Amino acid sequence: MSGFDKPDAFVDSQDPEIVREAKKGVVEDTYSFTERDIILYNLGIGATAEQLQWTYEGDDDFQALPTFGVIPQFHASGGISLDWLPDFNPAKLLHGEQYLSIKAPIPTSGVLVSKARILEALDKGKAAAITSIIETREKSTGKLIFENQSTVFIRGSGGFGGKRSGIDRGAASAANSVPKRAPDAIVEEKTTPSQAALYRLSGDGNPLHILPEFAAIGGFEKPILHGLCSMGIAGKAVYQTYGAYKDIKVRFADVVYPGETLITEMWKEGSRVIFSVKVKERNVNVLASAAVTLVDGAAKAKL
């Protein structure tokens, strides 16, 4: 979005003063990475040793899977202060939605700089919905590589006088309703019991995904898989089926336990692929309101 670095870039006339001030803050984080980090991420979302373009740095087509774009921005996004919210309790924070726009070819090593700001702060009465926007650029050239928009819900932190409804953010806020017909494609992938232990090495070390006692405090029977890992697995399925895409958006509807099987159902609607993901063993929908926008003229990936 234009004007990202202007102090009042995202201030809305309906925002109360507390939100106006919060929107002025900028968090910056530098992410240095090598081909090893690309391979680790690809493995974390289920790439296999046979898929050399994702797991061997010497392959002619070596590349990051598209959803790698959520990794460099993670600490910038997570560094945004929410202490200004009433009764803020980080234990009551839920990751609600994620949008990733891929602005340029993804480098396989280098140094990226992410800047994060609050884009929208909605007062839902008993909860707050905070959307941050993060721009990730190459440090050496300033070229924009990724834009992320991440929405979190904080239970018990409403009542700060903010707007109740948000603006139309295009693909980032689209409802992506599933068509009333059978899916055009279905991909099934079983996660491994160690999937979360592997994925956390890409940067999200939240103990919720590794420590049973910490997961129990959150009300879960055992550690859960990262939502962004489920997004990556589904994004990989869409990429393998329909080819390159320039953006992807999901809503996190429920949790996945490592070892469960994810079923990604896809519907092609022009240049968009709407998809939905459920856990086979429990028949629970875990990713909803999800879609990608295909790159113009993208053919089915040769994978």
Decide if 278 is inside a domain.
yes
Residues of the domain holding 212: 185-294
Decide if 176 is inside a domain.
no
Distance CA 156, CA 158 (A): 6
Of 125, 149, 171, which closes a domain?
171
Indicate which residue of 204, 243, 247, 274 is catalytic: 204
Confidence of residue 39 (pLDDT cuts 50, 70, 90): very high
Decide if 263 is inside a domain.
yes
Give how many domains the chain has, as a whole number. 2
Same structural domain, 139 and 22: yes
pLDDT reported for residue 7 = 81
Distance CA 244, CA 230 (A): 18
Whether 75 is a known active-site residue: answer: no
Compute the CA torsion angle 176, 177, 181, 183 (nearest 10 deg). Answer: 40
- 232 has a pLDDT exceeding 50: yes
Whether 204 is a known active-site residue: answer: yes
Indicate which residue of 118, 134, 224, 274 is catalytic: 224
Indicate which residue of 38, 39, 46, 209 is catalytic: 209
- 303 has a pLDDT exceeding 80: no
Decide if 113 is inside a domain.
yes
pLDDT reported for residue 33 = 98
Same structural domain, 133 and 30: yes
252 alpha-carbon distance from chain centroid: 9
Same structural domain, 165 and 194: no
pLDDT reported for residue 293 = 98
Distance CA 232, CA 64 (A): 11
Decide if 9 is inside a domain.
no
Whether 95 is a known active-site residue: answer: no
Confidence of residue 2 (pLDDT cuts 50, 70, 90): low
pLDDT digits (tens, 9 = 90+) for 5-17: 888 889 888 999 9
Confidence of residue 44 (pLDDT cuts 50, 70, 90): very high
Indicate which residue of 44, 162, 227, 232 is catalytic: 227
Same structural domain, 78 and 208: no
Same structural domain, 166 and 221: no
Same structural domain, 219 and 253: yes
Same structural domain, 49 and 108: yes
- 169 has a pLDDT exceeding 90: yes
- 298 has a pLDDT exceeding 80: no
CA angle 292, 294, 299 (to 5 degrees): 135
Same structural domain, 166 and 190: no
Structure-token pair, residue 208: 């919720």
Whether 227 is a known active-site residue: answer: yes
Decide if 40 is inside a domain.
yes
Confidence of residue 1 (pLDDT cuts 50, 70, 90): very low
Q: Across all residues in the chain, what is the average pLDDT?
A: 95
Give me the mean pLDDT over the 275-283 stretch.
Answer: 98
Same structural domain, 165 and 190: no
Same structural domain, 224 and 268: yes
Poorest-confidence range of 33-42, 86-95, 219-228, 242-251? 86-95
Decide if 11 is inside a domain.
no
Decide if 301 is inside a domain.
no
Same structural domain, 162 and 206: no
Of 147, 171, 195, which closes a domain?
171
pLDDT reported for residue 302 = 40
Same structural domain, 157 and 49: yes
Domain with residue 264: its CATH number is 3.10.129.10
**For a pLDDT cut of 90, what percent of the chain falls above it?**
91
Confidence of residue 237 (pLDDT cuts 50, 70, 90): very high
pLDDT digits (tens, 9 = 90+) for 101-153: 999 999 999 999 999 999 999 999 999 999 999 999 999 999 999 999 999 99
